[in-house]
Structure 1
Amino acid sequence: MSIRAIDEAPLNRFHRKLTWACAGGPFLDGYLLSIIGVSLVGMSHELSLTTAEESLIGAAALVGIFVGGLFFGAVTDRLGREAMYTIDLAVLVGASVLSVFVTESWQVVILRFVLGVAIGADYPIATSLLAEWVPNKHRGRLLGVLILAWYIGAAAAYAVGFVMAEIGGHGTWRWMVGSSAVLCALVLLMRLGTPESPLWLVSKGRTDEAQAAIRRALGRTVPTRELIAASAAEQSVVQSRVRDLFQGAYLRRTLFCGLFYMCQITPMFALMTFGPTILGSFGLGEGNSSHLGSALISIVFVLGCLPALRMVDRIGRRPVIIWSFALMAVPLVVLGGGSSLPVAAVILCFCAYALFSGGPTVLEWTYPNELFPTGIRATAGGVATSISRVGAALGTYLLPISLSRLGIGPTMLIGAGITLVGWLVSLLWAEETRGRTLAETSAPPTAPARRSAPPAKGAAGLADGELERS
């Protein structure tokens, strides 16, 4: 069952505002995860951090993201998208402000963990809310914009950190972490007044509130009969419990979303985190200027996402993700040649990998939101995020060890192998969801898709007329 007023609506000012507000979370995520790398030099000196403490600080946010995605996706499905949407940003603001006043390493670790929990929670919150508001034919592109914002946030963090370090040295690290508090507050202001998801309201039987939300946001009146039918369809879906993600038809989808996300993000996160180190292994980048190198790497990943944003809604999700993984492996195999490669070849390979990675990158949050019903949609997004962060944490931890013990060439070949696993998972399990309603895409593969019931005979003309006028 779907709501035509949402599925068939033209893009308007509300959709654009909601997209920017939802993108604020991933932007902050990229910023918060990256600014710590720039500020850690000054922080380590002032707080006398040991190597073990630095590692804990780096890992704390990743552990927090795992916990936040795993648990707060389910909370979002229970309490609603709009409520968690605001609470999550308030936590980010508070933890960012407190980070400015830390005096001990354990305080930094705890605050980074809390920030990670909020970041992990924001992924399913913002993506499920946007997915349930946008029209079918624009859903893939607009959800892809959210991941684009992550890279822009990361690039902004490196650029801000570079400028602050140039002006005041690494002693400005408190200003660096404090800058995130200002950005969090701005995004929080952007999110105030965001309406609740009508699909979530319908799934809870709150049809009057759903009707009012659609009228206020889209200027469309949905017949009560249609919403009641949608409510009955949503509540009749058996797969509405967390354990259903790990059994029956949805188990394969859970594995697919988690594994392709992990295989995409493990090499990518390692390249993003240790980009300057890797470039240094090839004789490129050092000192504070290496932060500019990291910013440039982030921008290149942004450019790689742009063509994929158009293709996922034009040619489909399945061909984009399969071909992207296949092509991503090629530059990593070439980089397996090691430090003997010419500088031009290294730069070309990095750019090629970033360009080809756009496909699975923009689908990281699209697939989990399309393949699961409203009752467990945010839960599924959170679980996929948690699975991916296992790979990200392992990749981040093992990359410097691999670089020192195996060398740059074998390390890049390991990345190519992980990428090919993602290609195989996509080839076997990727489904095509382009242009279909969420009710159709989230139906189990073995069950008939739940299509919208026609409106009542007496209300049909009125409903169609209202849709045309709006």
Structure 2
Amino acid sequence: MATHDVLKIAETAPFNRFHFGLLFWCSFIMMFDGYDLVIYGSVVPQLMEQWSLPAVHAGWMGSAALFGGIFGALTFGPLADRFGRRPVILLAFALSSLTALGNAFAWDAWSFAILRFITGIGLGGTIPNIVALINDMAPISRRNIMTTVMLGCYSLGALLSALVAMWVLPRFGWQYTFILAGAPLLTLPWMYRHLPESLPFLVACNRNAATALLCRIRPTVDVEKLRWPNQQAQRVAAPVSGLFTQGRAIKTLALWVGFGMCMLMVYGLNTWLPKIMVAGGYPLVSGLMFLVTLNLGSIVGALSSGWLADRWGCKPTLMVFLALAVASLCVLGIKPGFLLLNLMLLLAGAATVGSLAVIHAFAAQQYPTDIRSTGISWCSAIGRFGGVAGPALGGLMLSMNLTLQLNFILCSVPGIIALLVVAIVTRHKIEALPKVQLNDNLESCPPSPCSTGKSTTQAI
């Protein structure tokens, strides 16, 4: 009797209602992650006035969420590989939304900063795991574009935060922007019901739930002809150490550097672009409009990079985007005419944010599913050091009173470093699970040793 491998059936399934639902919920989570992280920039002037904060203290309050994100990524990634993507995503999202809501009731700078740190923990635990979930479940032909569309919703959340702040701040005050940040808590019952668990995880841990989920992914599947991995196949016992075994050490270190450089460019440019342009002789109003242009390009880049990666592959697309980022930043340094200037700003925004989106998808494909959340989470955590360093290094650069051309050349250096380290990451086909003996049908398989005994509906 002909048999069909469970994971291959899912990987080759056509894009359908199930995949749309998966993309919707992951994009919804990402959009509010963007809102929660960026909203601080809109309310900081009122906070400084209300609590008489100096700029340095306000800056550290803003960094609290970034530092929390490092801790959250390092913690929640290994937990997801051990206990499943779904419960960890729900927990991290609930934590970030609840503490963002709590910011509305902060009574001083210290309470606000602590709540922002905890919000960052939730954000750091959410983003890498929804990237891993998308890569576990999306069809191979749509995997990259689903990942980058979902990541692009971060920019939509950032835009939403600006629009909400423009309408809410003058009417109700800064507290209400954070009350709205808690609104996603109302969606948790629907998210609990519809957000699926990772199929590779269920194949290893709960075969009944995996069968039900596979029927949602591909309703025409014949469960009598499924071929299952032997349940005695062992999962990686220590996911973090798995990042450095089986020839992954150099690859992991290269990805860490690549993430850090991409985040350094994105955060550095978004923080200091207006000041760089003003220092180069442009008026302040134009400097702010240049920032808007840069972020319009970032949305285009995040959405287009996945489409290209599905056609060219992640590594070629990533290297092209990094090269475009370097080239566009260098051209900006020669102070081009109005049309070329705005074109280069659009290209710089698209290339820098597009690179950050693609490198997430690229990293997800470098690790087997058993350590995928850990791999992406550690890449994200180490990369956030670059995000934290971006504003600081930009301030140091501006304090040196360099020319506009030299400022932009220095801004392009992280892109050159990222381009070099990505080039050394060798292409490697990742199997969904370790090589194991296969049984021919469902009935002959032994019961799963790690089955929780929960109902199939809850497990998926």
For normalisation by structure 2, the TM-score amounts to 0.86
For 1:376, the aligned partner's letter is I
How many Å apart are 1:227 and its aligned residue? 5.5
Establish whether residue 333 from structure 1 lines up as the match of residue 334 from structure 2: no
Task: Give the match for residue 210 of structure 2.
Answer: 210
Q: Could you tell which deviates more after superposition, 354-363 or 299-308?
A: 354-363
Residues 1:186 and 1:94: Cα distance change in structure 2 (over 3 Å):
same
Measure, in 2, the Cα distance between the counterparts of 1:295 and 1:88: 31
How many Å apart are 1:281 and its aligned residue? 3.7
Alpha carbons 1:22, 1:126 under 8 Å: kept: yes
Measure, in 2, the Cα distance between the counterparts of 1:7 and 1:451: 19
Task: Give the match for residue 392 of structure 1.
Answer: 387
For 2:416, the aligned partner's letter is L
Q: How does 1:229-248 map to 2 (within 5 A)?
A: 229=229, 231-232=231-232, 235-236=233-234, 241-248=239-246
Establish whether residue 439 from structure 1 lines up as the match of residue 436 from structure 2: no
Establish whether residue 277 from structure 1 lines up as the match of residue 280 from structure 2: no
How many Å apart are 1:36 and its aligned residue? 0.4
Q: 1:347 aligns with which of 342, 345, 364?
A: 342
For 2:419, the aligned partner's letter is W
Residues 1:172 and 1:352: Cα distance change in structure 2 (over 3 Å):
same
Residues 1:458 and 1:156: Cα distance change in structure 2 (over 3 Å):
closer
Task: Give the match for residue 360 of structure 1.
Answer: 355
Alpha carbons 1:127, 1:369 under 8 Å: kept: yes
SS of the counterpart of 1:246?
Answer: coil
How many Å apart are 1:363 and its aligned residue? 1.6
CA RMSD of aligned residues (A): 2.9
Measure, in 2, the Cα distance between the counterparts of 1:23 and 1:231: 33
Deviation digits for residues 166-199 of structure 1 (CA, Å, limit 9, x no counterpart): x44xx722222332222x3355355221222121
Establish whether residue 415 from structure 1 lines up as the match of residue 404 from structure 2: no
Task: Give the match for residue 455 of structure 2.
Answer: none
Task: Give the match for residue 448 of structure 2.
Answer: none
Residues 1:343 and 1:127: Cα distance change in structure 2 (over 3 Å):
same
Deviation digits for residues 289-317 of structure 1 (CA, Å, limit 9, x no counterpart): 94x76555322211123332211111211
Task: Give the match for residue 48 of structure 1.
Answer: 52
Q: 2:264 aligns with which of 259, 266, 285?
A: 266
Q: How does 1:6-405 map to 2 (within 5 A)?
A: 6-165=10-169, 167-168=170-171, 172-182=173-183, 184-185=184-185, 188=188, 190-193=190-193, 194-204=195-205, 206-221=206-221, 223=223, 226=226, 228-229=228-229, 231-232=231-232, 235-236=233-234, 241-282=239-280, 283-286=282-285, 290=288, 294-337=291-334, 341-357=336-352, 359-405=354-400
SS of the counterpart of 1:125?
Answer: helix
Alpha carbons 1:140, 1:309 under 8 Å: kept: yes
How many Å apart are 1:396 and its aligned residue? 1.8
Alpha carbons 1:74, 1:242 under 8 Å: kept: yes
Alpha carbons 1:64, 1:117 under 8 Å: kept: yes
Alpha carbons 2:254, 2:422 under 8 Å: kept: yes
How many residue pairs were aligned? Answer: 437
Alpha carbons 2:148, 2:303 under 8 Å: kept: no
Measure, in 2, the Cα distance between the counterparts of 1:454 and 1:140: 31
For normalisation by structure 1, the TM-score amounts to 0.84
Measure, in 1, the Cα distance between the counterparts of 2:204 and 2:156: 35
Measure, in 2, the Cα distance between the counterparts of 1:402 and 1:26: 32
How many Å apart are 1:362 and its aligned residue? 2.8
How many Å apart are 1:103 and its aligned residue? 1.2
How many Å apart are 1:203 and its aligned residue? 2.7
Residues 1:139 and 1:402: Cα distance change in structure 2 (over 3 Å):
same
Q: Which runs of 5+ in 2 are unaligned?
A: 445-460
Alpha carbons 1:276, 1:284 under 8 Å: kept: no
Measure, in 2, the Cα distance between the counterparts of 1:458 and 1:79: 26
How many Å apart are 1:360 and its aligned residue? 2.2
Alpha carbons 1:265, 1:388 under 8 Å: kept: yes
Residues 1:47 and 1:348: Cα distance change in structure 2 (over 3 Å):
same
How many Å apart are 1:252 and its aligned residue? 2.3
Measure, in 1, the Cα distance between the counterparts of 2:212 and 2:70: 36
How many Å apart are 1:327 and its aligned residue? 1.8
For 1:429, the aligned partner's letter is V
Residue identity over aligned pairs, in percent, reads: 22
Residues 1:91 and 1:353: Cα distance change in structure 2 (over 3 Å):
same
Alpha carbons 1:3, 1:230 under 8 Å: kept: no
Residues 1:430 and 1:60: Cα distance change in structure 2 (over 3 Å):
farther
How many Å apart are 1:15 and its aligned residue? 0.6
SS of the counterpart of 2:424?
Answer: helix
For 2:329, the aligned partner's letter is L
SS of the counterpart of 2:359?
Answer: coil
Task: Give the match for residue 8 of structure 2.
Answer: 4
SS of the counterpart of 1:111?
Answer: helix
